[in-house]
Copies of this chain bind each other. A is one copy, B any other.
Amino acid sequence: MDSGNAAWMLMSAALVLFMIPGLALFYGGMGRGKSVLNMVLMNIYCVGIVPLVWVLGGYSLAQSPSGNKFLGNLDLFALDGIGPSQDLIVVAFLMTFAAITPALISGAVADRMKFGAWAIFVPIWSLLVYSPVVYWIYAFDAEGNAAGLLNTGLLGDIGSLDFAGGTAIHINAGVAALVLALLLGKRRGWPNNAIPPHSLPLVMLGTGILWFGWFGFNAGSALGADGFAAQAFMNTFLAASAGMVAWLIAERIKDGHFTVLGACSGIVAGLVAITPAAGFVAGMSGIWIGAIAGVICYFAVSLKYKLGYDDSLDVVGVHMVGGIVGGVLLGLFADPGAFADPEVFEEAASFPEGLFYGGGTELLFEQIASIVVVMVYSFIVTMAIGLALKAAIGLRVDEEDEIVGLDNRLHAETAYNHVELAGKSGSGFGGSVDVRERSDSPTSTKADAR
């Protein structure tokens, strides 16, 4: 790797890491003021525990050439054999993806999941669900040929495409979010009572950080600072813009007003949908993909009311649905020919074309098949992990914790303590709801297994 490519990859890894506090603000702002810290902690915890799991075993399972289609081996345990070198940049880059994927799930379990259960769920899910799916889509054998279940072709000899993790990350996390939402059940009062975002400026800030970081996510997935990365960058940019505008128009027509939450949701929907396609489409395709995702996701976030699952912060509606939209549209818009210029990306020529660019329906079917496989696998294994945890320690907090708020009851903290009426003494904790209650229900007992 030359220094220029290395510079871009170092930067991309940092950018994706920065997405995690961005996501914490995006979700935290969208949720309740009395459980924002719980949401924040669920997110940043992922970037604590997952990197440790990743360097020990996750990376090896996901990326080592094991000779089979399903899973890597443990040859790279504790990064065995990877000394100080630029190779580490790619390990670190992928580590940020591993960390953000379970964090995405957290939005669906807002306000009601035991923190202890989450703390155990995350590393297990990372090893049992994330690493295998990544292997299927991105594994290469020792000669550098595609080796995974899904990149070698399920239905024929062409493999499905997923540039930066539409299927591996967004659909995968979205399905897991659905499973946990089903297992946890609805929040008290939902859907009759409004639970509006407690801080939309934080949501906007989180969205801004996500967009900024997503350039690292997508253009960094080119693994260098070349024309390939440039196109991925441009597609990411246009899809987010188009997603925002499309969502704004849809909500203006249906609901009568333009909202900040709508603009932010549209941006994220566009970003999710372009993720699998960023390095495989050219020209104005990014606009189409973003705009279509913006409209479809706008409608998808209302599904939960019809179907009755409490996907609190719309992980399913935006990440799962947006990921599916992007993955399927890639079957239409994939245009490797545009990249064929050897200065851009030599190997592009070997990728399949989409329906609109002369490739027929083969890629489209591969895309759909891959998506279905990942959805089924993620659903089943996440369900198994969830049921096991439920049986072992329970997934859901007490009703009183939910009413009083998770921040106070689980974490002994309150997010905001702006008011200090009593100048000298202890009303500082005054922002909290029923702090004193803990005298009735000692923390030491209640905190167990949270």
Kindly specify which of A137-145, A193-201, A359-367, A377-385 makes contact with the partner chain.
A193-201
> Which residues 74-96 of A have a CB within 8 angstroms of B?
78-79, 83-89, 91-92, 95
Instruction: Assess whether A21 is in contact with B208, with CB atoms less than 8 Å apart.
Output: yes
Question: Which chain B residue lies CB-closest to A199?
Answer: B416
Partner of A257, one of B3, B88, B411: B411
B260 touches A413 (CB 8 A): yes
Q: Do A258 and B41 have beta carbons less than 8 Å apart?
A: yes
Distance in Å from the Cβ of A161 to the closest Cβ of chain B? Answer: 15
Residues from chain B with Cβ under 8 Å of A440 in the complex: none
Q: Cβ of B447 and Cβ of A85 under 8 Å apart?
A: no
Provide the residues of chain B in CB contact with A225, threshold 8 Å.
Answer: 3-4, 6-7, 10
Q: Which residues of B lie under 8 Å from residue A119 when comparing CB positions?
A: 258
CA distance A194 to B403 in the complex (A): 25
Known: A282-B84, A428-B194. A11 touches B7 (CB 8 A): yes
Tell whether, in the assembled complex, residue A260 and residue B428 are in contact, meaning their CB atoms are under 8 Å apart: no
A404 (CB) vs chain B CBs: closest residue: B423
Known contacts A5-B3, A21-B205, A208-B21; A10 and B230 CB within 8 A of each other: yes
- Whether A256 is near chain B, meaning CB under 8 Å from some CB there, is yes
Q: Which residue of B lies closest to A23 (CB)?
A: B208
Beta-carbon contact of A196 and B414 below 8 Å = yes
Residue A120 lies at the interface, judged by CB distance under 8 Å to chain B: no
Supposing A192-B425, A415-B199, A443-B256 touch, asked if A248 and B21 sit within 8 A by C-beta, the answer is no
- Residue A441 lies at the interface, judged by CB distance under 8 Å to chain B: no
Chain B's nearest CB lies how many Å from the CB of A277?
13
Chain A, range 191-246, C-beta contacts under 8 Å to B: 192-202, 204-205, 207-209, 211-212, 215-216, 219, 224-231, 233-234, 237-238, 241-242, 244-245
**Residue of B at shortest CB range from A242?**
B52
Q: Name the segment of A30-38, A61-69, A301-309 touching the other chain.
A: A30-38
Q: Mark A417-445, 1 if CB is under 8 A from B, else 0.
A: 11110011110110000000000000110
Considering the chains assembled together, what is the distance between the CA atoms of A36 and B416 in angstroms? 13
The interface stretch among A12-20, A148-156, A171-179, A314-322 is: A12-20
Known: A88-B234, A200-B416. 8 other contacts (CB 8 A): A6-B230, A25-B205, A84-B228, A85-B231, A189-B424, A199-B415, A199-B417, A256-B412
